Structure 1
Amino acid sequence: MSEQQIAFFRQRLQTMREHTLARIRAAQQSMSERPVLSDSADLAQYEEDSRMTLRTVQRESKLLRKIEASLKRIHTGDYGYCLESGEPIGIARLLIRPTAEYCAEIKNQMEEREKHYGNYR
């Protein structure tokens, strides 16, 4: 990848990082503000909303770790190359998923194995 492409993806990942952190903070803030609940239906709805918010925080935290790992790979010069095969991931795939760690061929193989054997990572 050229320096311009690396700079583009670095900026894109940093923007993703900022947006992800903002979503995590907003979700945490909404969980910290417990409303006054008047009946059991309100309490049940609040608990369900809290579970959904917690799932959002967990999902966003996982994305944040992937973003951080991608930024680290940019710093070390490994960004854009498959972690397993060492082949280029491809600009088109990185535009869709800037945190991609594997080229499409390896990722497809991994998904097929998961279908047959389950995910034992």
Structure 2
Amino acid sequence: MTAAKKTESVKIPEGYQPSDEDEKFMNPIMSAYFRKILTDWRDDVARQTAETIEYLKGENVSHPDPADTAAANADRQLELRTRDRLRKLTNKIDKAIRRIDNGTYGYCEETGDPIRVRRLEARPVATLSIEAQEMHERGERVRAG
């Protein structure tokens, strides 16, 4: 049985809340919990993408008034940027699900240490611990400054 099938078949107890202190990190229930969060999020993003595509299909950017045409073009550009962000987010979500499958989900890519559960709940696609993320951001500010 693949790792994906293992976490897909695990029943998450009603009211389950993962904990850094009370259970083994990324045990089957915790992994299944985060898989569900990620797959639900991916489904929501897919729905939003479909809505954006329908909006763009129905949008007529040719108006008699040049100001209306410009406004419609600006709206279209915003929708296209939104769609691109959603595509990138979907890729991040898919990568996070693959990390669950291969047993690396929830571990910092820099240090190898577990990422706190609360951080993963707030940002399920996180690949760095808060400490590693802060070091990364400080490094970017130094290079940019």
- Deviation, 1:102, is 0.5
- Deviation, 1:38, is 2.6
Alignment partner, residue 90 of structure 1? 116
Q: Following superposition, which runs of at least 4 residues in structure 1 exceed 6 angstroms of deviation?
A: none
1:78 to 104, 113, 133: 104
Whether 2:30 is the aligned partner of 1:5: answer yes
Distance across 2 between alignment mates of 1:105 and 1:4? 26
Which has the larger Rg? Answer: 2
- After TM superposition, the score normalised by the length of structure 1 is 0.92
Greater share of helix = 1
Alignment partner, residue 18 of structure 1? 43
Matches for 1:91-110 after TM superposition, within 5 Å: 91-110=117-136
- Deviation, 1:115, is 1.2
Distance across 2 between alignment mates of 1:76 and 1:2? 13
Alignment partner, residue 14 of structure 2? none
**Which secondary structure state, in structure 2, belongs to the residue aligned with residue 117 of structure 1?**
helix
- After TM superposition, the score normalised by the length of structure 2 is 0.78
**Which secondary structure state, in structure 2, belongs to the residue aligned with residue 95 of structure 1?**
helix
Distance across 1 between alignment mates of 2:84 and 2:134? 25
Distance across 1 between alignment mates of 2:110 and 2:44? 29
Distance across 1 between alignment mates of 2:100 and 2:137? 25
CA RMSD of aligned residues (A): 1.1
- Aligned pairs, number: 118
Identity, in percent, stands at 32
Task: For 1:52, give the aligned amino acid.
Answer: L
Distance across 2 between alignment mates of 1:17 and 1:27? 15
Alignment partner, residue 64 of structure 2? 38
Structure 2, unmatched stretches of 5+, are: 1-25
2:52 to 22, 27, 31: 27
Distance across 2 between alignment mates of 1:60 and 1:116? 30
Could you list the per-position Cα deviations for residues 1-57 of structure 1 after superposition, in whole angstroms to 9, with x for gaps in the alignment? 221111110001000000111111211221122325231111011001011111101
